[in-house]
Structure 1
Amino acid sequence: MDSLAPQRHPHPWRVFSATSIGVVAVFLSLSGLTVALPTVARELDASGAQSTWILLGYMLVTTALILVFGRLADIIGRRPLYLAGLITFTVATGLCMLAPSAGWLVAARVLQGAGAAAIVTNNTALLTDTFPPRTLGRALGWNATVAAVAQVVGPVIGGAATAVFGWRGLFVVVLPVGLLAIAASIAVIPRGPSRAVTREPFDVSGAVLSTALLAAVVLALTPGAGSTPWLPWACGAVSLVLAVTFVAVQIRRTHPLVDLSLFRNRGIALVLAAVLVNAIATYAVTLLVSLYGQAVSGISAVAAGALVMPVAIGTVVAAAAAGSLMLRFSPRTLTATGMGLNAVGLLGVTLLLSPDGGSLGATAPFLFVLGCGTGLFMTPSTSALMLTAPADRRGIANGLRSTLQNVGYLLSTALALVFATAGLSAAARQAAYGGTLGTLGSAEVARFVDNVRAVGIALAVVALLGVGVCLAFPRRNPAATVHTLESVTPLKESA
Structure 2
Amino acid sequence: MAVNTTSTRYPWLVLSVTSLGVLLTLLNVGTLNVALPVVAKHFNANAETANWILLSYMLFNTVFILIFGRLADMFGRRRLYIIGLSIFTVVSLLIGLAPNIWVLLVLRAIQAAGGAIVITNTTPLLTDAFPEKTLSKGLGINVLIASLAQLAGPVVGGFFASTLGWQWVFWFNVPFGILGVIWAATTLRGMESKGTREPFDVSGNILVFFALGGVILALSEGSTLGWSSPIVLLGLAAFVILTPIFMRIEWTSKSPLMDLHLFGQRRYAMAYVAAFLNSFARSAVVLLMALYYQTINHDTPFTAGLAVLPVTLGMLILSPVAGSLASRYDARVISSLGLALSGVGVAILIVVVGPYGLFVWAAIGMFLVGAGSALFLTPNTASIMTTIDPAHRGTANGLRSMLQNMGQVISTALSLMLVTAGLPKALQASVYAGNEASLPPGDIHLLVLGFRVALVAMLVATVIGILASLVRGEKSAA
Residues 299-310 of structure 1 aligned to structure 2 (within 5 Å): 299-310=299-310
What is the alpha-carbon distance in structure 2 between the residues aligned to residue 437 and residue 447 of structure 1? 18
In angstroms, what is the RMSD of aligned CA positions? 2.6
**Contact 1:340/1:373, CA 8 A, preserved across alignment:** yes
Q: Which amino acid aligns with 1:180?
A: L
What is the alpha-carbon distance in structure 2 between the residues aligned to residue 310 and residue 249 of structure 1? 43
What is the alpha-carbon distance in structure 1 between the residues aligned to residue 349 and residue 112 of structure 2? 30
Deviations 1:233-277 (A, max 9, x none): 221121011110111111121111111221111101111111101
Residue of structure 2 equivalent to 1:179: 178
Residue of structure 1 equivalent to 2:123: 124
What is the alpha-carbon distance in structure 2 between the residues aligned to residue 108 and residue 395 of structure 1? 26
What is the alpha-carbon distance in structure 2 between the residues aligned to residue 357 and residue 232 of structure 1? 36
What is the alpha-carbon distance in structure 2 between the residues aligned to residue 77 and residue 462 of structure 1? 36
In structure 2, the CA distance between the partners of 1:64 and 1:476, relative to structure 1 (3 Å rule), is closer
Alignment TM-score, normalising by the size of structure 2? 0.90
Residue 376, structure 1, aligned to residue 375, structure 2: yes
Residue 211, structure 1, aligned to residue 209, structure 2: yes
Q: For residue 431 of structure 1, report the CA deviation from its aligned partner.
A: 1.7
Q: Where does structure 1 lack aligned partners over 5 or more consecutive residues?
A: 1-6, 482-495
What is the alpha-carbon distance in structure 2 between the residues aligned to residue 109 and residue 443 of structure 1? 37
2:196 to 191, 195, 198: 198
Deviations 1:264-299 (A, max 9, x none): 111011111111010001110011111111111100
**Contact 2:73/2:394, CA 8 A, preserved across alignment:** no
Residue of structure 2 equivalent to 1:265: 265
**Contact 2:38/2:166, CA 8 A, preserved across alignment:** yes
25-34 or 80-89: which moved more? 80-89
Residue of structure 1 equivalent to 2:284: 284
Residue of structure 2 equivalent to 1:486: none
Q: For residue 226 of structure 1, report the CA deviation from its aligned partner.
A: 6.3
What is the alpha-carbon distance in structure 1 between the residues aligned to residue 201 and residue 372 of structure 2? 38
Deviations 1:117-145 (A, max 9, x none): 11122333434444455555544454344
What is the alpha-carbon distance in structure 1 between the residues aligned to residue 33 and residue 291 of structure 2? 8
What is the alpha-carbon distance in structure 2 between the residues aligned to residue 333 and residue 131 of structure 1? 24
In structure 2, the CA distance between the partners of 1:283 and 1:111, relative to structure 1 (3 Å rule), is same
Deviations 1:446-469 (A, max 9, x none): 212111111111211211121212
260-269 or 417-426: which moved more? 417-426
**Contact 2:67/2:257, CA 8 A, preserved across alignment:** yes
Q: For residue 89 of structure 1, report the CA deviation from its aligned partner.
A: 0.8
Q: For residue 100 of structure 1, report the CA deviation from its aligned partner.
A: 3.8
Residue 315, structure 1, aligned to residue 315, structure 2: yes
Between the two proteins, the alignment pairs up a number of residues equal to 470
Q: Which amino acid aligns with 1:260?
A: L
Structure (1 or 2) with the greater helix fraction:
2
Residue of structure 1 equivalent to 2:353: 353
Q: For residue 180 of structure 1, report the CA deviation from its aligned partner.
A: 1.4
Q: Which amino acid aligns with 2:335?
A: T
Q: Which amino acid aligns with 1:307?
A: A
What is the alpha-carbon distance in structure 2 between the residues aligned to residue 430 and residue 262 of structure 1? 43
**Contact 2:124/2:393, CA 8 A, preserved across alignment:** no
Give the SS at the match of 1:473.
coil
Q: For residue 156 of structure 1, report the CA deviation from its aligned partner.
A: 2.7
Residue 166, structure 1, aligned to residue 165, structure 2: yes
Residue of structure 1 equivalent to 2:444: 445
Deviations 1:348-401 (A, max 9, x none): 1121112x3554454111111112111111222123324554666555433321
Alignment TM-score, normalising by the size of structure 1? 0.88
What is the alpha-carbon distance in structure 2 between the residues aligned to residue 142 and residue 393 of structure 1? 23
138-147 or 433-442: which moved more? 138-147
Residue of structure 2 equivalent to 1:253: 253
Residue 398, structure 1, aligned to residue 405, structure 2: no
**Contact 1:296/1:437, CA 8 A, preserved across alignment:** no
311-320 or 272-281: which moved more? 311-320
What is the alpha-carbon distance in structure 1 between the residues aligned to residue 300 and residue 359 of structure 2? 13
Deviations 1:155-206 (A, max 9, x none): 233223333423233223322221211111122121666x953221111111
Residues 291-302 of structure 1 aligned to structure 2 (within 5 Å): 291-302=291-302
Q: For residue 93 of structure 1, report the CA deviation from its aligned partner.
A: 0.7
What is the alpha-carbon distance in structure 2 between the residues aligned to residue 126 and residue 329 of structure 1? 24
**Contact 2:70/2:394, CA 8 A, preserved across alignment:** no
What is the alpha-carbon distance in structure 1 between the residues aligned to residue 205 and residue 402 of structure 2? 13
What is the alpha-carbon distance in structure 2 between the residues aligned to residue 140 and residue 262 of structure 1? 22
Q: Where does structure 2 lack aligned partners over 5 or more consecutive residues?
A: none
**Contact 1:220/1:233, CA 8 A, preserved across alignment:** yes
Q: Which amino acid aligns with 1:305?
A: G
Give the SS at the match of 1:116.
helix
